[in-house]
Amino acid sequence: MLIVHVGTQKTGSSSIQHFLRENEGLLRESGISYISAVREWSDHNKLARELRSDAADTPRADAVVAEITARGYDKYILSAEELFHKRVPGRLFDHLTRHLDMEVRIVCYLRRPDHLMEALYKQRVKTGDIKPWPLRYLDANKWECDYLPVLDAFADRFGGEHISVRPYARPHLKDGDIVADFLDVTGLRMNGSPTRSMPEDNPTFSSAVSEMMGFCVRNSDIRFYDLNEKIAGLDWPNLKKSGDVYNRTTRLRLLEELEPGLREITRRYGEDLWQTLSFDDLREGGSFAFPSEHDRAELALQAGKAVLFAAMRLKG
Protein backbone atom coordinates (compact mmCIF):
# COMPACT_ATOMS: atom_id res chain seq x y z
CA MET A 1 0.00 0.00 0.00
CA LEU A 2 1.09 3.56 -0.77
CA ILE A 3 -0.20 6.21 1.64
CA VAL A 4 -0.16 9.70 0.12
CA HIS A 5 -0.61 12.47 2.68
CA VAL A 6 -1.54 15.62 0.77
CA GLY A 7 -1.87 18.21 3.54
CA THR A 8 -3.63 20.53 3.20
CA GLN A 9 -1.49 23.52 4.14
CA LYS A 10 -1.42 24.76 7.73
CA THR A 11 -2.91 21.54 9.11
CA GLY A 12 0.00 20.15 11.10
CA SER A 13 1.79 18.51 8.18
CA SER A 14 5.19 19.48 9.58
CA SER A 15 4.42 17.64 12.83
CA ILE A 16 3.48 14.49 10.91
CA GLN A 17 6.55 14.72 8.69
CA HIS A 18 8.90 15.42 11.59
CA PHE A 19 7.53 12.37 13.43
CA LEU A 20 7.90 10.09 10.40
CA ARG A 21 11.45 11.23 9.76
CA GLU A 22 12.44 10.92 13.42
CA ASN A 23 11.13 7.35 13.54
CA GLU A 24 12.27 6.27 10.09
CA GLY A 25 14.29 3.33 11.42
CA LEU A 26 11.47 2.02 13.59
CA LEU A 27 9.05 2.35 10.69
CA ARG A 28 11.28 0.25 8.47
CA GLU A 29 11.62 -2.40 11.15
CA SER A 30 7.80 -2.49 11.12
CA GLY A 31 7.57 -2.93 7.35
CA ILE A 32 6.84 0.72 6.60
CA SER A 33 8.97 3.02 4.46
CA TYR A 34 8.82 6.80 4.66
CA ILE A 35 10.13 7.21 1.14
CA SER A 36 13.56 8.85 1.14
CA ALA A 37 13.77 9.58 -2.59
CA VAL A 38 13.47 13.32 -3.35
CA ARG A 39 12.67 14.02 0.28
CA GLU A 40 13.70 17.51 1.30
CA TRP A 41 14.60 17.13 4.99
CA SER A 42 11.24 15.73 6.02
CA ASP A 43 8.75 16.30 3.18
CA HIS A 44 8.22 15.48 -0.49
CA ASN A 45 7.31 18.95 -1.72
CA LYS A 46 9.93 18.78 -4.49
CA LEU A 47 7.94 15.89 -5.95
CA ALA A 48 4.75 17.94 -5.61
CA ARG A 49 6.27 20.87 -7.51
CA GLU A 50 7.34 18.55 -10.30
CA LEU A 51 3.84 17.08 -10.60
CA ARG A 52 2.27 20.56 -10.56
CA SER A 53 4.53 21.75 -13.38
CA ASP A 54 4.26 21.36 -17.15
CA ALA A 55 7.52 19.42 -17.33
CA ALA A 56 7.36 16.34 -19.54
CA ASP A 57 10.25 14.70 -17.70
CA THR A 58 9.55 13.50 -14.16
CA PRO A 59 12.87 12.43 -12.62
CA ARG A 60 11.58 12.81 -9.07
CA ALA A 61 8.51 10.67 -9.67
CA ASP A 62 10.79 8.16 -11.41
CA ALA A 63 13.00 8.08 -8.30
CA VAL A 64 10.00 7.39 -6.06
CA VAL A 65 8.88 4.49 -8.26
CA ALA A 66 12.44 3.12 -8.35
CA GLU A 67 12.67 3.17 -4.55
CA ILE A 68 9.33 1.40 -4.11
CA THR A 69 10.26 -1.20 -6.73
CA ALA A 70 13.64 -1.90 -5.14
CA ARG A 71 12.39 -2.38 -1.59
CA GLY A 72 10.05 -4.96 -0.13
CA TYR A 73 8.04 -3.07 2.46
CA ASP A 74 4.35 -3.56 3.17
CA LYS A 75 3.54 0.15 3.23
CA TYR A 76 5.10 3.28 1.78
CA ILE A 77 4.39 6.90 2.70
CA LEU A 78 4.61 10.14 0.75
CA SER A 79 3.83 13.42 2.53
CA ALA A 80 3.68 16.92 1.06
CA GLU A 81 1.07 19.61 1.58
CA GLU A 82 1.83 20.94 -1.91
CA LEU A 83 0.40 17.72 -3.37
CA PHE A 84 -3.08 19.17 -2.73
CA HIS A 85 -3.52 20.66 -6.20
CA LYS A 86 -5.74 19.86 -9.18
CA ARG A 87 -2.79 19.10 -11.44
CA VAL A 88 -1.32 16.44 -9.15
CA PRO A 89 -3.83 13.53 -9.14
CA GLY A 90 -3.77 12.83 -12.87
CA ARG A 91 0.00 12.92 -13.24
CA LEU A 92 0.55 10.96 -10.03
CA PHE A 93 -2.01 8.30 -10.97
CA ASP A 94 -0.67 7.88 -14.49
CA HIS A 95 2.88 7.53 -13.24
CA LEU A 96 2.07 5.07 -10.47
CA THR A 97 -0.24 2.84 -12.50
CA ARG A 98 2.23 2.74 -15.35
CA HIS A 99 4.91 1.26 -13.10
CA LEU A 100 3.30 -0.15 -9.94
CA ASP A 101 0.44 -2.40 -8.93
CA MET A 102 -0.53 -1.43 -5.39
CA GLU A 103 -3.37 0.08 -3.41
CA VAL A 104 -3.14 3.84 -2.92
CA ARG A 105 -4.71 5.65 0.02
CA ILE A 106 -5.06 9.46 -0.06
CA VAL A 107 -5.17 11.23 3.32
CA CYS A 108 -5.88 14.92 3.81
CA TYR A 109 -6.86 17.30 6.59
CA LEU A 110 -9.08 20.34 6.12
CA ARG A 111 -9.49 23.45 8.22
CA ARG A 112 -12.19 26.05 7.76
CA PRO A 113 -11.37 28.11 4.66
CA ASP A 114 -11.24 31.52 6.35
CA HIS A 115 -8.92 30.10 9.00
CA LEU A 116 -6.69 28.70 6.27
CA MET A 117 -6.53 31.97 4.35
CA GLU A 118 -5.66 33.91 7.49
CA ALA A 119 -2.91 31.44 8.38
CA LEU A 120 -1.48 31.52 4.84
CA TYR A 121 -1.56 35.32 4.76
CA LYS A 122 0.28 35.60 8.06
CA GLN A 123 2.88 33.03 7.04
CA ARG A 124 3.62 34.69 3.72
CA VAL A 125 3.53 38.28 4.94
CA LYS A 126 5.89 37.65 7.87
CA THR A 127 8.49 36.01 5.63
CA GLY A 128 8.44 39.09 3.40
CA ASP A 129 7.08 37.15 0.42
CA ILE A 130 4.05 39.42 0.08
CA LYS A 131 3.16 42.94 1.14
CA PRO A 132 0.48 43.65 3.78
CA TRP A 133 -2.57 43.76 1.54
CA PRO A 134 -4.82 41.07 3.04
CA LEU A 135 -7.89 41.65 0.84
CA ARG A 136 -5.82 41.64 -2.33
CA TYR A 137 -4.15 38.44 -1.13
CA LEU A 138 -7.52 36.79 -0.45
CA ASP A 139 -8.97 37.71 -3.82
CA ALA A 140 -5.92 36.39 -5.67
CA ASN A 141 -5.48 33.18 -3.70
CA LYS A 142 -8.87 31.95 -2.49
CA TRP A 143 -8.60 29.03 -4.91
CA GLU A 144 -6.35 27.54 -2.23
CA CYS A 145 -9.35 27.01 0.06
CA ASP A 146 -11.72 25.75 -2.65
CA TYR A 147 -11.25 22.14 -1.60
CA LEU A 148 -13.89 20.30 -3.62
CA PRO A 149 -12.33 20.57 -7.12
CA VAL A 150 -9.07 19.11 -5.81
CA LEU A 151 -10.83 16.29 -3.97
CA ASP A 152 -12.86 15.63 -7.13
CA ALA A 153 -9.63 15.30 -9.11
CA PHE A 154 -8.25 12.78 -6.62
CA ALA A 155 -11.56 10.87 -6.55
CA ASP A 156 -11.71 10.72 -10.35
CA ARG A 157 -8.33 8.98 -10.46
CA PHE A 158 -8.05 7.03 -7.22
CA GLY A 159 -11.72 6.58 -6.26
CA GLY A 160 -13.53 8.35 -3.46
CA GLU A 161 -13.47 5.18 -1.36
CA HIS A 162 -9.67 5.49 -1.23
CA ILE A 163 -9.72 9.02 0.18
CA SER A 164 -9.79 9.85 3.89
CA VAL A 165 -10.72 13.45 4.73
CA ARG A 166 -10.24 14.53 8.32
CA PRO A 167 -11.13 17.74 10.16
CA TYR A 168 -8.21 19.81 11.38
CA ALA A 169 -9.51 20.90 14.76
CA ARG A 170 -8.08 19.67 18.04
CA PRO A 171 -11.42 18.58 19.57
CA HIS A 172 -12.06 16.30 16.58
CA LEU A 173 -8.61 14.69 16.31
CA LYS A 174 -7.79 11.42 18.04
CA ASP A 175 -6.46 12.35 21.48
CA GLY A 176 -6.51 15.96 20.28
CA ASP A 177 -3.28 15.29 18.39
CA ILE A 178 -2.55 15.41 14.65
CA VAL A 179 0.13 12.68 14.75
CA ALA A 180 -2.05 10.28 16.76
CA ASP A 181 -4.91 10.95 14.35
CA PHE A 182 -2.74 10.30 11.29
CA LEU A 183 -1.47 7.01 12.70
CA ASP A 184 -5.03 5.97 13.51
CA VAL A 185 -6.47 6.90 10.10
CA THR A 186 -3.67 5.17 8.19
CA GLY A 187 -3.55 2.12 10.46
CA LEU A 188 0.20 2.47 10.93
CA ARG A 189 1.48 0.25 13.72
CA MET A 190 5.11 0.21 14.86
CA ASN A 191 6.98 -2.59 16.58
CA GLY A 192 8.32 -0.55 19.45
CA SER A 193 7.96 2.83 21.10
CA PRO A 194 8.35 5.80 18.75
CA THR A 195 10.04 8.98 19.91
CA ARG A 196 8.40 12.37 19.61
CA SER A 197 10.26 15.64 19.69
CA MET A 198 8.59 18.84 18.63
CA PRO A 199 9.38 20.56 15.32
CA GLU A 200 10.63 24.13 15.30
CA ASP A 201 8.12 26.48 16.88
CA ASN A 202 6.07 28.47 14.37
CA PRO A 203 3.57 30.39 16.50
CA THR A 204 0.55 32.26 15.23
CA PHE A 205 1.49 35.88 15.72
CA SER A 206 -0.95 38.76 15.44
CA SER A 207 -1.47 40.31 12.05
CA ALA A 208 0.46 43.36 13.23
CA VAL A 209 3.49 41.31 14.31
CA SER A 210 3.43 39.32 11.07
CA GLU A 211 3.25 42.43 8.89
CA MET A 212 6.00 44.25 10.79
CA MET A 213 8.22 41.19 10.61
CA GLY A 214 7.80 41.15 6.85
CA PHE A 215 8.66 44.85 6.64
CA CYS A 216 11.82 44.22 8.66
CA VAL A 217 12.86 41.23 6.54
CA ARG A 218 12.25 43.07 3.25
CA ASN A 219 14.14 46.18 4.30
CA SER A 220 17.13 44.83 6.22
CA ASP A 221 19.66 42.01 6.16
CA ILE A 222 17.94 40.28 9.10
CA ARG A 223 16.90 36.74 8.22
CA PHE A 224 13.29 35.73 8.79
CA TYR A 225 14.20 32.55 10.71
CA ASP A 226 16.35 34.50 13.17
CA LEU A 227 13.69 37.15 13.69
CA ASN A 228 10.95 34.55 14.08
CA GLU A 229 12.97 32.66 16.68
CA LYS A 230 13.68 35.80 18.71
CA ILE A 231 10.06 36.94 18.79
CA ALA A 232 8.75 33.42 19.47
CA GLY A 233 10.95 33.38 22.58
CA LEU A 234 9.41 36.55 24.02
CA ASP A 235 6.92 35.98 26.82
CA TRP A 236 5.04 39.19 26.10
CA PRO A 237 1.26 39.68 25.96
CA ASN A 238 -0.58 40.50 22.73
CA LEU A 239 1.99 38.99 20.37
CA LYS A 240 0.01 35.86 19.49
CA LYS A 241 -3.47 36.33 18.11
CA SER A 242 -5.95 34.66 15.76
CA GLY A 243 -9.00 36.07 14.00
CA ASP A 244 -7.47 39.50 13.38
CA VAL A 245 -6.91 39.59 9.60
CA TYR A 246 -10.40 39.35 8.07
CA ASN A 247 -13.54 40.78 9.62
CA ARG A 248 -16.90 39.06 9.94
CA THR A 249 -18.28 40.39 6.64
CA THR A 250 -15.28 39.27 4.60
CA ARG A 251 -15.23 35.83 6.18
CA LEU A 252 -18.96 35.30 5.76
CA ARG A 253 -18.84 36.31 2.10
CA LEU A 254 -16.03 33.82 1.44
CA LEU A 255 -17.70 30.94 3.27
CA GLU A 256 -21.14 31.50 1.76
CA GLU A 257 -19.50 31.33 -1.67
CA LEU A 258 -17.81 28.04 -0.75
CA GLU A 259 -20.69 26.55 1.25
CA PRO A 260 -22.13 24.28 -1.49
CA GLY A 261 -18.74 22.65 -1.95
CA LEU A 262 -18.17 22.31 1.78
CA ARG A 263 -21.60 20.69 2.19
CA GLU A 264 -20.81 18.23 -0.60
CA ILE A 265 -17.50 17.32 1.05
CA THR A 266 -19.25 16.53 4.32
CA ARG A 267 -21.88 14.46 2.49
CA ARG A 268 -19.20 12.34 0.81
CA TYR A 269 -16.53 12.08 3.44
CA GLY A 270 -18.32 12.35 6.78
CA GLU A 271 -20.94 14.55 8.39
CA ASP A 272 -18.60 15.07 11.36
CA LEU A 273 -16.51 17.33 9.11
CA TRP A 274 -19.22 19.97 9.33
CA GLN A 275 -18.37 20.54 12.98
CA THR A 276 -15.08 22.00 11.74
CA LEU A 277 -16.30 23.62 8.51
CA SER A 278 -19.48 25.16 9.94
CA PHE A 279 -19.50 28.96 10.26
CA ASP A 280 -22.49 29.70 12.47
CA ASP A 281 -20.19 31.84 14.61
CA LEU A 282 -20.09 34.37 11.74
CA ARG A 283 -23.84 34.70 11.34
CA GLU A 284 -25.93 37.26 13.18
CA GLY A 285 -25.61 36.69 16.90
CA GLY A 286 -22.60 34.43 16.43
CA SER A 287 -19.60 34.36 18.71
CA PHE A 288 -16.93 35.65 16.32
CA ALA A 289 -15.42 38.94 17.48
CA PHE A 290 -13.03 40.93 15.31
CA PRO A 291 -10.67 43.13 17.36
CA SER A 292 -11.92 46.66 17.95
CA GLU A 293 -10.00 49.71 16.71
CA HIS A 294 -8.62 50.18 20.22
CA ASP A 295 -7.51 46.55 20.42
CA ARG A 296 -5.88 46.72 16.99
CA ALA A 297 -3.98 49.82 18.06
CA GLU A 298 -2.73 47.99 21.16
CA LEU A 299 -1.70 45.00 19.05
CA ALA A 300 0.17 47.27 16.63
CA LEU A 301 2.00 49.05 19.46
CA GLN A 302 3.10 45.78 21.02
CA ALA A 303 4.11 44.44 17.62
CA GLY A 304 6.31 47.44 16.96
CA LYS A 305 8.03 47.04 20.31
CA ALA A 306 8.60 43.31 19.80
CA VAL A 307 10.00 43.55 16.28
CA LEU A 308 12.25 46.48 17.22
CA PHE A 309 13.47 44.67 20.35
CA ALA A 310 14.21 41.48 18.43
CA ALA A 311 15.96 43.35 15.62
CA MET A 312 18.15 45.25 18.10
CA ARG A 313 19.13 42.00 19.80
CA LEU A 314 20.01 40.40 16.46
CA LYS A 315 22.12 43.37 15.39
CA GLY A 316 23.95 43.38 18.74
Would you list the DSSP string of the chain? -EEEE---TTSSHHHHHHHHHHTHHHHHHTTEEE--TT-BTTB-HHHHHHHHS--S--HHHHHHHHHHHH---SEEEEE-GGG-STTHHHHHHHHHHHH----EEEEEEE--HHHHHHHHHHHHHHTTSS-S-HHHHHHHHGGGG-HHHHHHHHHHHH-GGGEEEEE--GGGSGGG-HHHHHHHHHT---SS-----PPPP---B-HHHHHHHHHHHHTSS--HHHHHHHHHT---TTSB-SS-SS-HHHHHHHHHHHHHHHHHHHHHH-GGGHHHH--GGGSTT-S--PPPHHHHHHHHHHHHHHHHHHHHHHH-
Domains and CATH numbers, the chain: 2-111+147-186 (3.40.50), 207-315 (no CATH)
> pTM of the entire structure?
0.95
Note whether 94 and 18 are within 8 A (CB).
Answer: no
Nearest to 168 by CA among 152, 187, 147: 147
Along the 316 residues of the chain, how does pLDDT read in single tens digits? 999 999 999 999 999 999 999 999 999 999 999 999 999 889 999 999 999 999 889 999 999 999 999 988 999 999 999 999 999 999 999 989 889 999 999 999 999 999 999 999 999 999 999 999 999 999 999 999 999 999 999 999 999 999 999 999 999 999 999 999 999 999 999 999 999 987 666 789 999 999 999 999 999 999 999 999 999 999 999 999 999 999 999 999 999 999 999 999 999 999 999 999 999 999 999 999 999 999 999 999 999 999 999 999 999 8
